[in-house]
Each structure stands twice: as C-alpha cells, then as structure tokens.
Amino acid sequence: MSELTFEAKMEKLEELVKKLESGDNSLDTSVKLYQEGIKLAKECHQELTLAEKTIINLKTENGLEEFTE
C-alpha cells in the first residue's frame, strides 16, 4: 500500500475523477489516470475492510456483538 493516509487517497481519487470527467486528456493519459484510480480504490477498499474486521473483533472481544449493524 502507498504511504498516503486513507483520507489523502480519497482526495486523490476525487482529483482523478475530475480530471477524467473533464475530457481534456489524451486516451493514453486517461488510461493512466484510470489505472491509478483503480489502484487507489483497491487500497481504500482494503483499508476499509481491515477497519471493519477490527471493529467487529473489538465488539466480539468486549461482548458487544449484539450491537452489530
């Protein structure tokens, strides 16, 4: 994973989307932006999944599983 924080990755994704939506890029540039976006989205998804598992484990360890969902 990159050294960026989750929040920084989300901001970067927003910037990439804006660039792609502008339509001012060459095909090659658009593909590179898309690839970068997919990589960042995957990293964000992994971080969210890990955070969710951590929260579920904490709830279970502390007898709070009835509060899940």
Name the more confident of 67 and 10: 10
Residue 12 lies inside a defined structural domain of this protein: yes
Residue 38 lies inside a defined structural domain of this protein: yes
Residue 37 lies inside a defined structural domain of this protein: yes
Residue 1 lies inside a defined structural domain of this protein: no
Residue 15 lies inside a defined structural domain of this protein: yes
Summarised one tens digit per residue, pLDDT across range 22-64 is: 999 999 999 999 999 999 999 999 999 999 999 999 999 888 8
Burial category of 40 from C-beta neighbours within 10 Å (exposed 0-12, middle 13-18, buried 19 and up): buried
Residue 69 lies inside a defined structural domain of this protein: no
Residue 34 lies inside a defined structural domain of this protein: yes
Residue 66 lies inside a defined structural domain of this protein: no
As for how many domains the chain has, the answer is 1
| Token pair listed for 3 | 């050294």
The model's pTM = 0.78
